[in-house]
Structure 1
């Protein structure tokens, strides 16, 4: 059995903080016909004292949802609203997931174990509350790759195949089903505040604001908690947007109900990594206007944060909120420079030098003569290694090479990864090949091999 929360670290931990009644409804997990363990993230489990669970215990908790000792007695489906592709929708909430447990990691942070595909809830509307097995596999790949590239992301904790045939309009059906558990730094969304604003519940919004500050940020609320909350969300979400861009990642659905106030990325549906620096590259086939295209992600996240500020007018004057909100573009620009230099593996210099270097890299990548992953692989540590793209680099990255002579490396290149012929990437063809092996032959070896390769790349980037 997993240890009680107080035994998860060497020093005593604060008790679990339950989710307020006004934020959630108690629900029951679906009773699945099967529970076949397909993926368990022992690296993440070790951080919360659960890596010692047997497979049978793991399945009992994360496939059958037997409560963890000393934890939430029943799963909770969160309530929230949100803008979906800029249209306000009050009919949201956890429709195929719930918060199963709260616990603290080895750093004392309060974390949630949340589900995807665990059955219907009061917010399922016309959905079946299920998750396709392919969707679960895709989420493993997304979270592993983003974590390796330094993006603040939820962790795919568990994936269990559930034995139900599902009908879906966007993939061959019937298709296999699964239930996923993610380890996340909270599940409070911008949409959580929007709901309380629309319902005119200022007292509950103040309670939620204090909860986020105290339990998720580890701060005392102070005299102006709403202002401090917005400051934190601006900083955290601007860094998130910057890290998406440096990773070449397109989330696909940056609705306000998908933006966590901790600045942690989560909930991966139609995600993609763009092969080239293409501002118009989209991940979702239904994003016909390109609202959440690669190059528009910072503006999309900023727009969502504006919706939080609108909600917080219940607690603070707009004259005080507006200057905090207006800082987002500069915070993003600074974070973007840091994220690009971190992926390149060089030490920052001055703001002006760093901005000029990053702009030159963007201009070179925008020629589409070399892929994003290939560029950062070949220039790791700030020095170009010889290879098949020498002519391209001479022609399109000469200014970058000149600038980099003034930069010091922040990374050793003695890890074996840097001697590979190709960088580790995660593009759609490989995603589909990994799924095809599972779908047609029940061959999981490509998935496990890819996860190992991604983690190896992550080690090389440290």
Structure 2
């Protein structure tokens, strides 16, 4: 195991966190162990008992953090500023330095903290189950996401208004590069702690953007904001190309490394619909699929505004003007990557214009013919394959007139990666997706008779396609 001595989080000092005690769970039962993620941080060797000691009982790890820390932050929740939040049902309790990259282990559902307010600090087992599948599928789709590291059922019963109760409880551990959120900076600006903003910028640069150490003062802050913006633009583009709707894009749910994390009422969009929302309580559609890039940019502006408190001359609005270009560039690149195609034109301008026309026709087909979003990427992977289109579960939709326009575009493109084009996955007639009906059908036997067979089968299917995208 590669640990840091002492863990970097201590560099920030007690103004940034509170020491907390994990909950005592009556009957921990392992439900998910991510061995691949464990290998990343040198924990794959742990015995079953050690795994429970560290990830259900939260015994401190040797040479690592001596106590769990609930991080302090504020945030805009549906664009309303809330100074009463922070780690309310989770904490940071270990950090690892692996090949000069810092990793955090954080929790969800591990008990009450000073920021729990009226909550019980717990997580439903169904919520943990949903997060496992979200992170696994997003990773398979190539999205920059946190990894679900471990899930234990705790032996407790919970009352919740949004699912049948009493319901089972779980405690989840996630692996992230960082738990420093936009809202961490917002809190410091709210409290007028300019020195701590500078300290936090320096911490983030030192551990996440070391190439920026060459800059100082306002130049460092500007370069930091630009890099966060680029990383976040890329993640937003990845969500859009995966048909993914996060659901709760508050500033406390966005971190400075651009990783997608903290999955609550997420959805994968069945068919292209810009107004599609994930959260039943998002009645205004603020975080709808089509508004995600705008929401992300709005959140970046809040980060920039917070930084400006310590760096009054920081031109954050000007620095964030590049977000749109970065998002569009990443969207085009990821679109081609998902379809496994490349433009044969050598002239850069002509190539760009053709790609833009093809993308426009692709999404026009999605809007007009209403095929399944993920199935269409599957059917058109590596270009036009008539046999695959005929075998598809949605073969009839390819008779729509808008497809003929798109087909002419696609026939001009070449295969990007022949090995991926020949992957056995594409011999199937149906893609690997995770729409809400399937998610519920997988959960049903778990809830009814503790049968995890469908879950294990789905997990195996998802992992079989990693590396294709």
Normalised TM-score (structure 2): 0.93
1:4 and 1:70 in contact (8 A); partners too:
no
Aligned to 2:398: 393
Give the SS at the match of 1:160. Answer: strand
Match of 1:18 among 9, 16, 20: 9
The alpha-carbon distance between structure 1 residues 391 and 443, as it changes in their structure 2 partners (threshold 3 A), is: closer
Aligned to 1:79: 72
What aligned pairs does 1:297-316 form with structure 2 within 5 A after superposition?
297-316=292-311
Match of 1:454 among 437, 443, 462: 462
Give the SS at the match of 2:440. Answer: helix
What aligned pairs does 1:379-418 form with structure 2 within 5 A after superposition?
379-384=380-385, 385-387=388-390, 388=392, 389-394=394-399, 395-411=401-417, 412-418=420-426
Distance 2:145 2:407 in 1: 32
How far has the Cα of 1:331 moved from its partner? 1.3
Match of 2:21 among 28, 31, 43: 28
How far has the Cα of 1:161 moved from its partner? 0.4
**Counterpart check, 1:233 vs 2:234:** no
How far has the Cα of 1:352 moved from its partner? 2.3
Distance 1:239 1:17 in 2: 27
How far has the Cα of 1:347 moved from its partner? 2.6
How far has the Cα of 1:319 moved from its partner? 6.0
Match of 1:419 among 427, 441, 446: 427
Distance 1:113 1:308 in 2: 24
How far has the Cα of 1:417 moved from its partner? 0.8
Deviates more, 1:402-411 or 1:416-425: 402-411
Distance 1:383 1:108 in 2: 43
What aligned pairs does 1:362-373 form with structure 2 within 5 A after superposition?
362-373=363-374
CA RMSD, Structure 1 to Structure 2 (Å): 1.6
Aligned to 1:376: 377
Aligned residues: 451
What aligned pairs does 1:185-204 form with structure 2 within 5 A after superposition?
185-204=177-196
How far has the Cα of 1:393 moved from its partner? 2.7
How far has the Cα of 1:128 moved from its partner? 0.1
Match of 1:243 among 233, 238, 245: 238
What aligned pairs does 1:129-278 form with structure 2 within 5 A after superposition?
129-221=121-213, 222-223=215-216, 224-278=219-273
2:340 and 2:421 in contact (8 A); partners too:
no
Listed one character per residue, the Cα deviations across residues 48-83 of structure 1 (whole Å, up to 9, x for unaligned) are 111111111101100000111110000100000000
Aligned to 1:123: 115
Listed one character per residue, the Cα deviations across residues 429-457 of structure 1 (whole Å, up to 9, x for unaligned) are 11111111111010111111111101112
2:389 and 2:398 in contact (8 A); partners too:
no
How far has the Cα of 1:209 moved from its partner? 0.5
2:74 and 2:186 in contact (8 A); partners too:
yes
2:212 and 2:223 in contact (8 A); partners too:
no
Normalised TM-score (structure 1): 0.94
Distance 1:366 1:317 in 2: 45
Distance 2:228 2:260 in 1: 13
Aligned to 1:290: 285
Gaps of at least 5 residues in structure 1 are 7-13
How far has the Cα of 1:373 moved from its partner? 1.1
How far has the Cα of 1:390 moved from its partner? 4.7
Distance 2:50 2:102 in 1: 23
1:277 and 1:368 in contact (8 A); partners too:
no
1:27 and 1:74 in contact (8 A); partners too:
yes
How far has the Cα of 1:333 moved from its partner? 1.1
1:248 and 1:274 in contact (8 A); partners too:
yes
